[in-house]
Homo-oligomer: A and B are copies of this chain.
Amino acid sequence: MLDTVRTVADLRARVAAWKAAGERVAMVPTMGALHEGHLSLVRLGKAHADRVVASIFVNPTQFAPHEDFDAYPRAEARDAGLLKDAGCDLLYAPTAAEMYPEGFATSVSVTGVSEPLDGQARPHHFGGVATVVSKLLIQCDPDIAIFGEKDYQQLLVIKRLARDLDLPVEIIGGPTARDHDGLALSSRNAYLSAEERKIASALPATLKGVIEALAAGQPVAEAEEGAIAQLHTAGFNKVDYLEVRDGETLARLGPGPAAPGARVFVAAWLGKTRLIDNMAV
């Protein structure tokens, strides 16, 4: 059984004991429903530190009322087994009451990198993320914390808040884990029907197509437009965005050839399931 704590006090006691013994601590915050992507972050943590704490908390404040908070998959016992096998030392699985006590009234927000892309498509999302991640990092006080590049914009938001709030932690991005056909692993892939799952492989293929088109000198705006049309043809019913942006600032690129450091970002819908992905250009 993986050691599990559910309160800030218990978490702090465990981490403080490790630190007092001179051990480095990595944290891997998750919303559970773990897959190989999460587990690769745990292994990355283990490569950088002596101890890895994973957290599982499906954070209500980063879902809008019409989004999938209730439906979001939860399977703690299975998750705990996977984490233990991946080398995780401690699971922190707080209750909503532990995270948001009565009278809770504080929020952390980040301007700039949180504004385009998912910041436009999901207006309350990054406020919820910034607040809960600030809390998790302050609660655990790890030396390093690891977040997947699959949620690349989230990674940039978290790097910014950790720097700005002087949190004594190094934020590290872990590469996106992909299925055999290139689809980025995501807990939300479980929502897909068999037919939708086949169509979904067009998402990474389209991003690769954009990268090749840009390498061949196609202007950014043309490559974006062509890719959006491809996704609709493949069977995606809505594309929230498919945009090439600067990989650090998320600034929009000009319509001409892509600049160095660019990254292509996509969010698109298959039925009621929203999938996101991104790749370095």
Binding site for B on A (CB under 8 A): 8, 12, 101, 103-113, 130, 134-135, 138-139, 160-161, 163-168
> Contact: A12 with B168, CB < 8 Å?
yes
Contacts of A134 in B (CB 8 A): 165
Contacts of A110 in B (CB 8 A): 105-106
> Contact: B160 with A103, CB < 8 Å?
yes
Complexed CA–CA distance, A103 and B160 (Å): 8
Contacts of A109 in B (CB 8 A): 106-107, 109
> Contact: B135 with A166, CB < 8 Å?
yes
Contacts of A104 in B (CB 8 A): 164
Contacts of A160 in B (CB 8 A): 103, 105-106
Closest chain B CB from A60 CB (angstroms): 15
Contacts of A8 in B (CB 8 A): 166
Closest chain B CB from A140 CB (angstroms): 10
Q: Could you name 17 residue pairs across A and B whose Cβ atoms are closer than 8 Å?
A: A101-B164, A105-B110, A105-B113, A105-B160, A106-B108, A106-B109, A106-B130, A106-B160, A107-B108, A107-B109, A107-B111, A109-B109, A134-B165, A135-B166, A138-B166, A138-B167, A138-B168
Contacts of A108 in B (CB 8 A): 106-108, 165
Q: Evaluate whether A103 and B107 lie within 8 angstroms (CB atoms) in the complex, with A138-B138, A166-B8, A166-B138 already known.
A: no
7 additional contacts, CB 8 Å, given A105-B111, A105-B113? Answer: A105-B110, A106-B111, A106-B164, A108-B165, A134-B165, A135-B166, A139-B166
Complexed CA–CA distance, A113 and B104 (Å): 11
